[in-house]
Amino acid sequence: MPRYFALVPAAGLGARMGLALPKQYLPLAGRPLIHHALATLCAARRIARVFIVLSEQDKVWDQQWRSADHAAFDDKLVALRCGGATRADSVLNGLQRMVESAVADDWVLVHDAARPCLSQAQLDALIDEVGDDAVGGILAVPVADTLKRAGADGRIDATVPREQLWQAQTPQLFRYGLLREALEKSRGVTDEAGAIEALGHRPKLVASDACNLKVTYPSDLALAERILLNRTLLKGTN
């Protein structure tokens, strides 16, 4: 039976946050931001192993991660120091390093390090709904807001119809062999689905929700913390 692996590219510097510390290590609800996504992935019983792709120059991982209580992840979490210049490079480098663990038909869930609020329910929905699909699929949210295309002068050029538009999230779930082939042929994509599409395939869209947000700006940290703390409170009342 095909196995499931998770791959988390975490070699970025988080420049848009405007902080010296890479955003994946910023404090969030009492833990480093990256802890929350890794905890969810490592707790998933169907995921055999979780690979995190780090920059070779990353000195924070050992200083911050190993100084905290993360020992429970050690039997499932593998750090790969092979981060690239772009997300696509990091994911491809990670896939290439996974060659001794994964075979072509195994599934790989690629997840953003900066999406700390992924829930087990969202993860299970993606795996269940993709099932044995020939292509794979991604978590995504239908676009709800009116979209405007801007001109170079900062004024509206056009209103873009939002019907049939979805905002891509992660994890994005594809077969190891297909995903590796796709990224080897398309290095300029911003997500894995884009590389799969470039091969002529049409990934499945699996409905998620806005709680699976990506932390990009400082204000996103406060929102993510509220989501995580509220989730903890709800668990405590059940």
pLDDT in tens, 198-216: 999 999 999 999 999 999 8
CA distance 95 to 53: 10
Boundaries of every domain in the chain: 4-237
Q: Residue 167: pLDDT above 80? A: yes
CA distance 203 to 172: 9
CA distance 198 to 219: 34
CA distance 146 to 88: 30
Q: Are 165 and 142 in contact (CB under 8 A)?
A: yes
pLDDT one-digit tens code per residue, 59-101: 888 777 665 556 567 689 999 999 999 999 999 999 999 999 9
Closest C-alpha to 77, from 106, 108, 39, 112: 39
pTM of the model: 0.93
Closest C-alpha to 87, from 175, 190, 173: 190
The one-letter amino acid at 199? L
Q: Are 180 and 95 in contact (CB under 8 A)?
A: yes
State which CATH number among 1.10.3720.10, 3.90.700.10, 3.90.550.10, 3.40.1390.30 fits the domain covering 4-237. Answer: 3.90.550.10
57: confidence class by pLDDT, cuts 50, 70, 90:
confident
**Token pair recorded at residue 128:** 């269940």
Q: Can you point out the beta strands (E) in 85-210?
A: 107-110, 136-142, 147-150, 156-160, 166-175, 204-207
Q: What is the dihedral of CA 26, 87, 43, 227, to 10 degrees?
A: 50
Report CA torsion sign: 73, 76, 82, 84.
Answer: negative
